Amino acid sequence: MIILGIETSCDETAAAVISTQDNSIKILSNIVSSQVALHQKWGGVVPNLAAREHLKNILPVITAALSKARTKPTSIDLIAVTNGPGLIPALLIGVNTAKTLSYLWNKPLIGVHHIEGHIYANFIGSQQESVSSNRKLNSCLLLADNFFPALCLVVSGGHTQLVFMKKHLHYKIIGQTLDDAAGEAFDKAARILGLNYPGGPAIAASASKAKNKKHKLLSKNLPRPMIGSPNFNFSFSGLKTAVLYLTKKNERLLKKESFVNEVSLEFQQAVVDVLITKTIAAAKKHNPKTIMLAGGVSANAELRRQLGEAIDKELKNISYIMPDTSYCIDNAAMIAAAAYWRWRNNKNKKFYAEAWKDLPVDANLSL
Ligand code: KG4
Ligand code: ZN
């Protein structure tokens, strides 16, 4: 089947066309119009500015996705759109556009949870790679019994969660952040360090340039909040505050690139240490067959690499998969991929045929 995906929950206007066959997903087009440059000067996303940009871009982005995929509206079988969580003014543009197209083209419509989309980025194409078992997973295996249960570490700008999936489309949150999300912490720390928005890629780039492992002012490590707590929750706001205090005490050093690079390295390692320790502990308790990564922060090369090493060292017979880096940050291919699994698992297709009438938008939609 051919699915048109639409995503406008934050600061990317995105549309994609995917084709599904025999349980494999092929990306025909994946267009993302980023508003990063617009929001950069505010150091974060301004919801109403985002909505204005989405409104300007949504139809050109959808047109480009269809034309790149050489697909006509008549060939589309299903429309998928993110209907939460996210910024209400931004979500409304995508959802209202999707509802209108669903009505006009007479196509069924599915609302997708944004995080479900991130998780299903793992199921796109052939990016699966198994570290610990040294096997290549393929999309058939993703259907098989030996893929589930799975444990997914979701790390985005708005969410940090450990999600246990006993099967497709079933989510149990076994741990989550009590304050800032991991991506939010990257963004805030970057701002303190005078780096660009979004902070994740900026801190990663700065950290990779650090010559010394640690600046002498960091004789005491930055904290690893809640790393030893007897649960799978996270907290990142104290880490950000520690960066703030450190730099306040040494403001003139912020002009020194080597200082910024070394603080970036230590900050990134602190986040990675906490994420990995909690994921391994959760896996030991819940015994998944697969560990997955999802969300914008899963593009982080150190997190990807070090989690693989920790799984190899500490766990046995666990597959480790992660989305291709091009599908980690917000995109619409992942939304279409999640919709495919919803579609094939739901017998009530009439519900989707009429969803254009009343698909709700929910800023706090739960998984
Ligand atoms: O999933 P995403 O695109 O949007 C949300 O759903 O929030 O995630 C965006 C977040 C931002 O906070 C950004 O700084 C972070 O992902 N991010 C990264 C990297 N690339 C993006 N964080 C760490 N390292 C990266 N390479
Ligand atoms: Zn996202």
CA of 14 to the centre of ligand 2 (A): 12
pLDDT at 133 over 60: no
The dihedral over CA atoms of 165, 350, 365, 191, expressed in degrees to the nearest 10, equals 90
pLDDT at 129 over 60: no
Among protein residues, the one with the nearest Cα to ligand 1's atom 10 is 157
Query: For position 221, what pLDDT does the model report?
Result: 82
Query: For position 41, what pLDDT does the model report?
Result: 82
- Which of the two residues, 213 and 26, has the higher pLDDT score? 26
Query: For position 144, what pLDDT does the model report?
Result: 55
Beta-sheet strand order (sheet of 172-176): 172-176, 160-165, 150-155, 290-294, 319-321
pLDDT tens-place string over residues 158-204: 999 999 999 999 999 999 999 999 999 999 999 999 999 999 999 99
Instruction: Please state which of the ranges 39-43, 192-196, 331-335 shows the lowest mean pLDDT.
Output: 39-43
- Which of the two residues, 77 and 46, has the higher pLDDT score? 77
Ligand 1 close to Cβ of residue 296 (< 6 A): yes
Calculate the alpha carbon distances from 240 to 171, 184, 205, 268 in Å. Answer: 29, 10, 18, 11
Ligand 1 close to Cβ of residue 186 (< 6 A): yes
pLDDT at 55 over 50: yes
Query: For position 336, what pLDDT does the model report?
Result: 98
pLDDT tens-place string over residues 275-320: 999 999 999 999 999 999 999 999 999 999 999 999 999 998 899 9
Q: What mean pLDDT, rounded, does the chain reach?
A: 91
Ligand 1 close to Cβ of residue 271 (< 6 A): no
CB atoms within 10 A of CB 66: 20
Average pLDDT over residues 60-81: 98
CB atoms within 10 A of CB 70: 10
Test site for ligand 1: of 184, 186, 187, 195, most ligand atoms within 8 A of the Cβ: 186
Phi and psi, residue 184, nearest 5°: -60, -40
The pTM score is 0.94
pLDDT tens-place string over residues 194-247: 999 999 999 999 999 998 766 666 666 899 999 999 999 999 999 999 999 999
The answer to whether the beta carbons of residues 156 and 297 sit under 8 Å apart is yes
Structure tokens at 110: 């599915």
- Strands 109-113, 172-176: pairing is unpaired
CA of 302 to the centre of ligand 1 (A): 14
Ligand 1 atom closest to the Cα of residue 329 is 3
Question: Hey, is 171 helix, strand or coil?
Answer: coil
pLDDT at 137 over 70: no
Match 């998780």 to its residue by tokens: 119
Q: How confident is the model at residue 367 (pLDDT cuts 50, 70, 90)?
A: very high
Give the closest ligand to the alpha carbon of residue 203: 1
pLDDT tens-place string over residues 243-280: 999 999 888 989 999 999 999 999 999 999 999 999 99
Q: How confident is the model at residue 147 (pLDDT cuts 50, 70, 90)?
A: confident
Query: For position 145, what pLDDT does the model report?
Result: 59
Give the closest ligand to the alpha carbon of residue 7: 2
Amino acid at 310: A
Question: Considering the chain, what percentage of its residues have pLDDT values greater than 90?
Answer: 81
pLDDT at 131 over 50: no
Amino acid at 299: A
pLDDT tens-place string over residues 105-127: 999 999 999 999 999 999 885 44
